[in-house]
Amino acid sequence: MKMAILVNVYRNNQKNVRFLLLDLLVISAALYLTATFLFPTLAWGGVDIGTYIVIKTISFSTFGFLLKIHKIDWRYASIREIQRVIVALLGSDIILFAYSQAQYGYGLGSLLVFQGMLALNVIVGTRVLARNHVFDMLKPHSNQPGRKALIIGAGDSGQMIIRELKEYRTNVLNVTGILDDDPKLQSLYVHGVPIIGTTEALERIVQDHCIEVVILAIPSLPYSRRLALLKRIERTGAESHALPILSELATGKVSISEIREVKIEDLLGREPVQLNISGISDHVEGAKVLVTGAGGSIGSELCRQLIKFAPAEMILLGHGENSIYLIERELKALETDTLLHAVIGDVQDEHRLEEIFSMHKPDIIYHAAAHKHVPLMEDNPLEAVKNNIYGTKNMVNVSARHHVNRFVMISTDKAVNPTNVMGATKRIAEMIVQEKARSSDTIFSVVRFGNVLGSRGSVVPLFKEQIMRGGPVTVTDPEMTRYFMTIPEASRLVIQASVLARGGEVFVLDMGEPVKIVDLAKKMIELSGFTIEQIGIEVTGIRPGEKMYEELLATNELRADANVFEKIFVGCTRPFTSVKPILSLIEQLHDQREALIYLLLYVANSTDIDRDVERLFQSEIKRMTPSMNNMRLVDGN
Catalytic positions are 414
How are beta strands 481-482 and 515-516 bridged, if at all?
Answer: antiparallel
Please give, one letter per residue, the 3-state secondary structure of 309-360.
HCCCEEEEEECCHHHHHHHHHHHHCCCCCCEEEEEECCCCCHHHHHHHHHHH
> Rounded to whole angstroms, what are the CA distances from 333 to 82, 267, 272, 336?
42, 33, 27, 8
> Rounded to whole angstroms, what are the CA distances from 624 to 380, 472, 591, 602, 607?
21, 44, 14, 14, 21
The beta-strand segments (E) located in 478-531 are: 481-482, 484-486, 506-509, 515-516
Q: Nearest to residue 159, comparing CAs of 148, 147, 169, 167?
A: 167
Please give, one letter per residue, the 3-state secondary structure of 372-424.
CCHHHHHHCHHHHHHHHHHHHHHHHHHHHHCCCCEEEEEEEHHHCCCCCHHHH
Distance CA 388, CA 348 (A): 9
Q: How many residues does the chain have?
A: 637
Which region, left, alpha or beta, applies to residue 386 given φ > 0 means left and ψ of -120 to 50 means alpha?
alpha
Query: How far from chain centre, in Å, is Cα 341?
Result: 29
Instruction: Give the list of residues 6+ apart from residue 474 with CB closer than 8 angstroms, or none.
Output: 462, 466, 537, 538, 539, 540
Distance CA 216, CA 229 (A): 8
Type of residue numbered 88: A
Instruction: Give the list of residues 6+ apart from residue 146 with CB closer than 8 angstroms, or none.
Output: 170, 171, 172, 173, 174
Which region, left, alpha or beta, applies to residue 226 given φ > 0 means left and ψ of -120 to 50 means alpha?
alpha
Which region, left, alpha or beta, applies to residue 388 given φ > 0 means left and ψ of -120 to 50 means alpha?
alpha
Contact yes or no for 16/71 (Cβ under 8 A): yes
Distance CA 475, CA 472 (A): 10
Q: Nearest to residue 568, comparing CAs of 553, 583, 585?
A: 553
Distance CA 360, CA 312 (A): 11
Query: Peptide bond preceding 311: is omega within 30 degrees of 0, i.e. cis?
Result: no
Phi, psi of 525 (to 5 degrees): -65, -45
Buried b / exposed e along 482-518 (16+ C-beta atoms within 10 A): bbbbbbbbbbbbbbbbbbbbebbbbbbbebeebbbbb
Contact yes or no for 605/633 (Cβ under 8 A): yes
Count of beta carbons in the 10 Å neighbourhood of residue 570: 24
> Rounded to whole angstroms, what are the CA distances from 365 to 203, 326, 402?
51, 21, 11
